[in-house]
Amino acid sequence: MMTDSVVEGVPDRYGMNIKDIPCNLYSEINSDAHNSNESRSQTSDNLEGHGAIVAAHYNTIEEKGLEERNKSRIVYLRNFNNWIKSMLIDEYLKEIKDNKKQYNAPLKVLDMCCGKGGDLFKWRSGRISHLICADLAETSVEQCENRYKDLRDRADKEPYRMGPLFTAEFIAADCTKTQLRQKYKDVTIDLDLVSCQFSFHYSFESLAQAECLLRNASECLQPGGYLIGTMPDAYEIVTRLEKSGGLKFGNEVYEITFESRETPFPLFGAKYNFHLEGVVDCPEFLVHFPTLEKLALKYGLELVRNEKFEDYFNSERKLYSGRRLLTKMQALETYPPAEEDTKLIGNEKEDYDHAKDYLEKHKTKQIGTLSKPEWQAATLYLVFAFRKMHKLIGDKGEVTYKPFVPKPKEREDDNDYGEPKRKYARRD
């Protein structure tokens, strides 16, 4: 269990030095983005180059086996992030199923920026019927397709244990620059869910790229469907930057470096370099969330969730399914270790003070936790969800949107032990 003592003094999320979005006109967003792009065009960076850098980075990451990954300094952080994704995907798949009029209706999903297919098992567990995987890194898409084929072969050999597997298609394309619909096998497909995990922020390199990604997310999404995902929390990043007093901050597992501290940060193209131990080392971009929220409305996407990882964890771990999955996925490290010869992943003298304090306060022998450096990395992120609204076309062809109203009921956890019910409400 994590406590507030892990990261001290978290400030007001909205007290950051990030330019506020204009309150009235979308044209002002466009004007600001144009000015930002114009100033950046005079530097060595360019729109084509960053995409190529990101693609090259992920194409060259070596595929590691389970044994090798378990030796990583951030093994529990990676498992924790996977747990967050699993809970988020499960939550919204079940919400969509609840709103379906037909029992056992097909569920069709777009996994934007799918990487090597790390979420394939999550889609299998969610019993979807069809999956579209898209990513700009061709090697990653090939590995994703190979993983799917392995999963399909296992399902064919063990149909009674594995159950039927969803069909899938794979697209190597930049989701921030390419209209994905034209590459679908069925361009008339109606999607129920779009997922974009740990990648949405790359689109905020420019207004055009952000709009392209949102168009891809919304274009085939049915009313009542969801765009869900995870991304860095720009407010948290800028907070830590200001506290550092310099151009970089981090710890032994992650580091963020800015080239300059321009004031205020532009709405698009606010670049920083992110390094995560053995996983990521490439340029990323701040996402000013109020800007994203307004842009999303243009594409009929209404914000229903914006929640820090810390808060999402604290709510989901109260569910029986959340606690069970934490154990199954080994998303937390046991402190102290169950066996004397087991070494902690972090520095015992420095990284587990919060765990020691908890044990002393609650008079218990063991807890599940993350080392302090891993927790500091995890709390850089947030979860988000947008719901597709009904599209209305007026007499003169003008397009407006009407909010989708879900069925007025709460979803209980799969195993009801008298615990709090999970509600679907906007949290920000």
pLDDT in tens, the chain (428 residues): 443 323 333 333 333 444 444 434 344 455 555 554 443 433 334 445 565 555 554 555 566 555 555 678 999 999 999 999 999 999 999 999 998 877 688 999 999 999 999 999 999 999 999 999 999 999 999 999 999 999 999 998 887 777 789 999 999 999 999 999 999 999 999 999 999 999 999 999 999 999 999 999 999 999 999 999 999 999 999 999 999 999 999 999 999 999 998 778 999 999 999 999 877 688 999 999 999 999 999 999 999 999 999 999 999 999 999 999 999 999 999 999 988 888 999 998 899 999 999 999 999 999 999 999 999 999 999 999 999 999 888 887 788 888 988 876 555 555 544 555 565 444 43
pLDDT of residue 344: 94
pLDDT value, residue 278: 76
Residue 174 annotated as part of some ligand binding site: yes
Any binding-site annotation on 395?
no
Quick count: other Cβ atoms within 10 Å of Cβ 380? 20
Residue 197 assigned ligand-binding role: yes
Residue appearing with tokens 């990451």 = 61
pLDDT at position 349: 87
98 is an annotated ligand-binding site residue: no
85 among annotated binding-site residues: yes
**What was the pLDDT predicted at 282?**
86
In this structure, are residues 282 and 53 in contact, taking their beta carbons and an 8 Å threshold?
yes
Predicted local confidence at residue 21, as pLDDT: 40
- Domain 73-232+280-309+382-402 in this protein, CATH class: alpha beta
Q: Is 190 annotated as a binding residue?
A: no
pLDDT for res 66: 53
User: Does residue 150 have a known ligand-binding role?
Assistant: no
- Binding site annotation covers 212? no
pTM as predicted = 0.85
**Residue 423's pLDDT is what?**
52
In which residue are the tokens 């994703």 written? 144
